[in-house]
Amino acid sequence: MKHDFKTLRLDRITRNFGGPASASGVAPLPALGGLTMNIARGEFIALLGPSGCGKSTALNCLSGLLALSSGAIYLDELRIDTLPPEQRGFGMVFQNYALFPHMTVAKNVGFGLLMRGVASSEIETRVKRALDLVQLAMHANKLPGQLSGGQQQRVAIARAIVIEPPLILMDEPLSNLDAKLRLEMRSEIRRIHGELGRTTIYVTHDQDEALSLADRIVVMKDGLVQQVGTPQEVYGQPANLSVARFMGYRNELLLDVAEKNGDGIHLTGPGINLRGIPKAAIGARAAVSIRPEEFSICAPEEQPENSITARVEAVEYYGRESLFMLRTQDSTRLFVRTEGTAKPGETMTVSVPHDRVLAYPSEQVA
């Protein structure tokens, strides 16, 4: 398989699983409804979205475990979606490690090379190099059952990279690990990718993992791509309300559009006076998304231009910051995470920078 490709190209790939039509005769939605993108050699791509959005289906179509319903996959000019998995030769890392329990770590890592008929002296050298890279050389003769979950996942990563695949596919590789190991393994994966520079496609439902690991993130929902962008783009400029929700924009306010000028927008509601950035063509009402962390508390005598005045319902103390749960005058829940103090029952005025107020068409509210 080509290792020196420039571009992995997904051309409108889809996958249906059939299944019964609904009572109204409507066919079920495809698991993957058409994914088109170009991935450059060496890129780290995260497929991000909630359970059932089609991430694993996309990955399995790439590996060849699943056939496409339509579309095509190319490594440069070479069409590969018609090839069986073993001819594609991609490295795979799964959530459950999928190691052979009766084989030593070294045998597990070398298995793919053995199957490819590589000479035993070369297998030994390459297994050692792969185990050094994942820092497991001292465990080469142990069985998987004698290792921690994090170590087993590193064996799985060594096994995937030892065959020097053109593409490494990882399906939620960290979700069986506890929180601390997950963080450690995240930086391990980043380090290994930095050292090897292998093109990697990584499936996760964890925003932090996607943001911290990926060069680009593909946000998916219901089998469809919602946004492709750098972590900064997806975090700061969600393309629509559903991406915003998924990326932690917990506050959603339905407000009147008082004025639109240039690229700004003036939004009002009871006790609410905000300037914001419209993210699409907006009518008389807008759905406004703001992260809890973007607010700060104003002194009562201040009348900032960009502010919301609301009643404090509850406060959760987190040390340096607190999470204030507010209720606006039209009864919308508002989460504010910031420094400061307030008691339930008090009135609070909070302000937010206008470039952190994202306004979407109100029709996007489900």
Q: Can you give the binding site for ligand ATP, defined by CB under 6 A?
A: 17, 31, 49, 51-57, 205
CB 53 within 8 A of CB 222: yes
d(CA 96, CA 94): 5
Residue 259 C-beta: closest distance to ligand ATP, Å: 41
In the complex, the smallest distance separating the C-beta of residue 89 from ligand ATP, rounded to whole angstroms, is: 23
Nearest of 200, 163, 189 to residue 42 by alpha carbon: 200
CB of 56 to ligand ATP, least distance (A): 3
Cβ distance to ligand ATP smaller for residue 81 or 321: 81
Q: Which is nearer to ligand ATP, 31 or 35 (CB)?
A: 31
Q: Minimum distance from CB of 28 to ligand ATP (Å)? A: 8
Is 177 or 255 the residue whose CB approaches ligand ATP more closely? Answer: 177
7, exposed or middle or buried, with CB in 10 Å at 0-12, 13-18, 19+?
middle
Residue of 186, 187, 178 whose CA lies nearest to 149: 178
Report DSSP letters for 32-62, one per residue. Answer: EEEEEEEEETT-EEEEE-STTSSHHHHHHHH
Pick the closer one to ligand ATP by CB: 171 or 294: 171
The nearest distance, CB 58 to ligand ATP, in angstroms, is: 7
Q: Which is nearer to ligand ATP, 206 or 293 (CB)?
A: 206
Separation of alpha carbons 57 and 169, rounded Å: 12
Residue 17 or 100: which CB sits closer to ligand ATP? 17
One DSSP character per residue, 198-224 reads -EEEEEES-HHHHHHH-SEEEEEETTE
- Residue 292 is given by DSSP the state G
Task: Determine the Cα–Cα distance for residues 193 and 173; give it in Å rounded to an integer.
Answer: 14
Cβ nearer to ligand ATP, comparing 42 with 50: 50
| Shortest separation between residue 67's beta carbon and ligand ATP, angstroms | 12
Pairing of strands 7-15, 32-40: antiparallel
| Of 164 and 206, CB closest to ligand ATP | 206
Is residue 226 within 8 A of residue 239, CB to CB? The reply is yes
CB 353 within 8 A of CB 306: yes
Q: How far is the CB of 65 from ligand ATP (least distance, A)?
A: 10
Closest approach of Cβ 32 to ligand ATP, in Å? 7
Q: Which is nearer to ligand ATP, 218 or 298 (CB)?
A: 218
Q: Please, what is the minimum distance in Å from the beta carbon of residue 238 to ligand ATP?
A: 19
- Nearest distance from residue 30's CB to ligand ATP, in Å? 8
Six-digit token string for 77: 């000019």
Q: Which is nearer to ligand ATP, 57 or 306 (CB)?
A: 57
- The full DSSP string for 125-173 is HHHHHHHHHTT-GGGTTS-GGGS-HHHHHHHHHHHHHHT--SEEEEEST
φ/ψ bin of 172: left (φ > 0), alpha (ψ from -120 to 50), beta (otherwise): left
Dig out the tokens for 305 from the structure. Answer: 């231009």
Name which of 197, 64, 178, 39 is nearest 133 in CA terms. Answer: 197
